[in-house]
Every structure is written in structure tokens, then in C-alpha cells.
Chain A
Amino acid sequence: MDKNYITVDIEGLNPEKFINLAVINGLTLWNIERLSITNMRFNMNEKDFKRLRHIAKKTNCRAKIIRKNGVIFLFRRLYRRMFFIVGIVLFVLLIYFFSNIIWNIEIYGNKIVSEELIIKSLNKAGLKVGTYKKKVNLRDVENSLLKDIKELSMVTISLDGTKAKVEIVERTMPPTIMDFEKPTNIVAAKDGILTKVIALKGQKLVKEGDFVKKGQILISGVIKDSQNIPIDTTRALGEVYAKTWYESIKEVPLKYRYFERTGKYEKFVYLILPNNKIVNLRSNINKFQFYDKIIEKEQLKLLGIKSPVIKATEYYYEKIEKIKDLSYSEAIEIATKLADEQLMKMLPKDVRILDRKYDKILMKDKVKVRKLILTEEKISKEEDIK
């Protein structure tokens, strides 16, 4: 008997009659079991079930499929869920396909050579994000990378899943040789009072305690004799330190005018095309009298790829002018704050602060604050002699 069969339950007053009728009609039944007086269970071929209906009507029985056995039913069910199966297959295929693509490149061990340069060189050699793993010959890429970038002494590329690890050992390059023949002067980069002059080579023209102006030659590369006749030119070497100062004077009237944002703002968005043309998405007419304007520019990205179009957003924050009567102490506080802010912007990073001075002048309708910072810093700067 067939491997693909169904198990059927019948219920009726005379199930024997049902079976006789079925047999006479040429059906084959097997494993008939009596469950109770009214119930019987048997197996039969699935395709004969249609004929069973008709018999059941005649004998006043009810037939019900209990179980479907066999592979064909499984296939039939799967066929009905075909797109589900197609989806699973597609999913597996896609996973396999995408796992064979290099998705990111990581570079280890570079100190001097920039990552961009290495990536550019890798791309030239054929290792890119998105290339098929099997297409890349790693040894070839390593060799061409070594040829391309001279600073590298060893490159090892290994694939770890979808990641390409590029390990780099840099060559220690010989130091750049200073050209001592090139004639240069050392000049002052700033005004100041000299505190320390160290001349290694060249003719010293200033001494400690001198006041120098910006651009003044401190150590000359032109060596002259006592009669001021140039004998030789050289590259001047040396370091010069000087006392410098940073000053900020702020005046604040007692009737203090200031601006305050009202909280209202307007936003305009427009696009800047590569040829600097501006495409307005909305008309932008600013109607505020006083305002702060902030422009944010952002390169538009399409699917993670930078496009040449720049999206600019202009924000206009409305301000209103306010006048406040200040007491002297309040005015001084504001002026000091303003002066401090200005000084912070002016002060370079590598200076030594020697002294601070702070003067307050009270006048009839305003205050004046003067802040002075005395510093010591290196002011020497090389300059070519023409």
C-alpha cells in the first residue's frame, strides 16, 4: 500500500455498512480498528477520499481525516508556503554572498603614515570595501602596498570574517638633514623685552634686556667683520625668549545695553550645488531687526555615500536690546568677564605667565577695566635671507 496515506475516522450507527459500501466501490482500506460501537478508524489512499464523501452521505456516517502521513503532504504544505521557502533560501544565499564581501578595513600599527594614504593605496591595489574576498590576492596587495608607500617595511593583511586587518610595521626613516648652507636670519615674531638669547650660529645682534619689535633681526646669518663688511653667510641657529604682554581694556557704561534672545527663531534650509549655485527650498526673508545668525553646513549623504551637494541650514535667533542700570560693582564684574574672555582668546598655549595686572577705573557714567598678563615665550623665528 501507498506510503502516502490518510487516517480517517468514521462515525455512524452502522460503520460496517459504510466499509462494505466502500469496498464494493473498489477502495482499499487497511488497519481498520474499532474504537467504539459507532466509531471506526482506518487508513486509505488520499486520492480516494472524495469518493468516501458520497458513501458517507448514503450510510449516514461522518468521515473525518485525523492524520495525513507521508512526504507528499509535507511537500504540498510547503508548496502552499512557497514564498516562505523562497525567502529562506534567498536569506541563506544572501548571507553567504554578503559574508564573502569585505565590509571594513582596519589598519593597525601606523604612526606616521596616515590611514587615508594607506586606504588609498589599498584601493589602488584592489582591496576595497565591497570587493569579493576571493577576487583579492592578499600577497599581491601586500607587495604593491610596500612598493607604493616607502615608509612601510612590512605589511600583513589577514581576513577575519568580513573584516580585512592590515597590520603595518613602519620603517624608521633617517632624520631629515638640515641644510646649514642655506642663509637664514632669526627674527622676532613679536614685540617684547628679551630675557634669554641663545645663539648657536650666526652673529648675535641683540642682548638680554633689549626691547625688540616684531620682525627685527635677532641673530643674523650674515657675518660681518668689525668694519661692517660682510664676510660670510650662514644659517643662523638659536633660541630667543622674551617677556611679552597681552592686554585687554574693556569699558562698560552704567547704562548697560545688551541683547537678549527672545527664544523666537526662524530656520531656512537651502542646498548648495557643486557649482556654488543655491537652491532655496523656501523663500528666506528674515524679518527680525536684531538677530544672531548661525549657519550649519552639512554634506548630504545618499545611502552612506557623500554627495557633492551641501545642505545648509540658517538659523536666525531674534534678539531684543535691553538697557539695564548697573551698580559700579556689577559693571566691573561684567567688564572683567569680557576682558578675561578676550585674553583667553589671545593667549597662545606654550607661554609661561609671569605676572598679572588688573586696574579698575571708575568714571562718572562708566567703568574701565584693564587686564594685563606678562608672559615669557619663545619669539625667535627663522626667515630666509633674500
Chain B
Amino acid sequence: MDVKQRFSDAFDIPEEIVLDVPAIKIVSNNKIIIENHKGIIEYGKTNVRINSKIGIVALKGDNFVIKYITQEEILLEGEIELVEFIK
């Protein structure tokens, strides 16, 4: 464990803020919110790959639409089949 993680544990601050790691929230199988992303690598109807600190978050599914994108978060909608982390 490194210092930052210990720091967040000690003060009970969410990890994603301190460590800048992605926080992913999936609602049902058709909505996914990714915080702390590092940009889109690939975006298509069936394949989406999003960069993050811990690697690439790859999504497979159908009819993907980016509902909105800001510096902090991405909201994706579509039929999600698979979420994969690639180092």
C-alpha cells in the first residue's frame, strides 16, 4: 500500500479523489457512469474504450451513445454486455 491509499483510508476520503482512479457506476445494463477518466480511445456503436489511470476500460455492447462528456465524467447509454479492464 502506498502513502496516498493509506491517507485516504485514514481520513475516510473516497479513494478515487485521492488516487485519481476511475469510479464506475453501472445502472441496470444500459447506463454506465465513469468518473476520473483520461479520455476516449475508441468510440463506436458496439465498442467503447476509455482510458484511465489503471488502464483501459473496454466496454462491449450495442447502440452506445455518449450522453454527455466533461473533464470529470462520462455517461454512456446502450446495451452493455461486457466491461473489461485491460492493463
Using a CB–CB cutoff of 8 Å, the interface residues on chain A facing chain B are 1, 15-16, 19-20, 23-24, 26, 28-34, 40, 42
Q: Residues of A contacting B41 with CB < 8 Å?
A: 16
Indicate with 1 or 0, residue by residue over B68-87, a CB within 8 angstroms of chain A CB atoms. Answer: 11110000000000000000
State whether the Cβ of B58 lies closer than 8 Å to any Cβ in chain A: no
A-B contact pairs, 21 of them (CB 8 A): A15-B43, A16-B41, A16-B42, A19-B40, A19-B43, A19-B69, A20-B39, A23-B69, A24-B71, A28-B68, A28-B70, A29-B66, A29-B68, A29-B69, A30-B66, A30-B67, A30-B68, A31-B67, A32-B43, A34-B43, A34-B45
Within 8 A of A (CB), among B15-32: none
Q: Residues of B contacting A40 with CB < 8 Å?
A: 43
Main secondary structure of the interface of B (DSSP, over half): strand
State whether the Cβ of B55 lies closer than 8 Å to any Cβ in chain A: no
In the bound complex, CA of A31 to CA of B65 (Å): 6
With A16-B43, A34-B45 given, name 14 new contacts (CB 8 A).
Answer: A1-B68, A19-B40, A20-B39, A23-B39, A23-B71, A28-B70, A29-B69, A30-B66, A30-B68, A31-B65, A31-B68, A32-B65, A33-B65, A40-B43
Most A CB contacts (10 A, CB to CB) among B40, B44, B45 go to B40
Give which listed residue, B39, B69, B71, contacts A32 with CB less than 8 A: B69
A23 close to B70 (CB less than 8 A): yes
Chain B min CB distance to A16 (Å): 5
**Closest chain B residue to A22, Cβ basis:** B69
9 A-B pairs with the lowest CB-CB distances in the bound complex, closest first: A20-B39, A32-B66, A30-B68, A16-B40, A28-B70, A29-B69, A16-B43, A34-B44, A23-B69
Chain B min CB distance to A235 (Å): 113
Q: Residues of A contacting B39 with CB < 8 Å?
A: 16, 20, 23-24
B69 close to A28 (CB less than 8 A): yes
Q: Residues of A contacting B68 with CB < 8 Å?
A: 1, 28-31
Q: Residues of B contacting A32 with CB < 8 Å?
A: 43, 65-66, 69
Using a CB–CB cutoff of 8 Å, the interface residues on chain B facing chain A are 39-45, 64-71
Most B CB contacts (10 A, CB to CB) among A28, A33, A34, A42 go to A34
In the bound complex, CA of A331 to CA of B64 (Å): 114
**Closest chain A residue to B75, Cβ basis:** A30
Q: Residues of A contacting B43 with CB < 8 Å?
A: 15-16, 19, 32, 34, 40
Q: Residues of A contacting B40 with CB < 8 Å?
A: 16, 19-20
Chain B min CB distance to A317 (Å): 92
Q: Residues of B contacting A1 with CB < 8 Å?
A: 68
In the bound complex, CA of A40 to CA of B42 (Å): 12
Q: Residues of A contacting B42 with CB < 8 Å?
A: 16
Q: Residues of B contacting A19 with CB < 8 Å?
A: 40, 43, 69
Give which listed residue, A26, A30, A33, A42, contacts B71 with CB less than 8 A: A26
**Closest chain A residue to B41, Cβ basis:** A16
Chain B min CB distance to A48 (Å): 12
Chain A min CB distance to B75 (Å): 8
In the bound complex, CA of A30 to CA of B42 (Å): 17
In the bound complex, CA of A16 to CA of B44 (Å): 10
Q: Residues of A contacting B64 with CB < 8 Å?
A: 34
A30 close to B69 (CB less than 8 A): yes
In the bound complex, CA of A15 to CA of B69 (Å): 14
In the bound complex, CA of A1 to CA of B70 (Å): 12
**Closest chain A residue to B65, Cβ basis:** A33
Q: Residues of B contacting A33 with CB < 8 Å?
A: 65
In the bound complex, CA of A19 to CA of B70 (Å): 10
Q: Residues of B contacting A29 with CB < 8 Å?
A: 66, 68-69
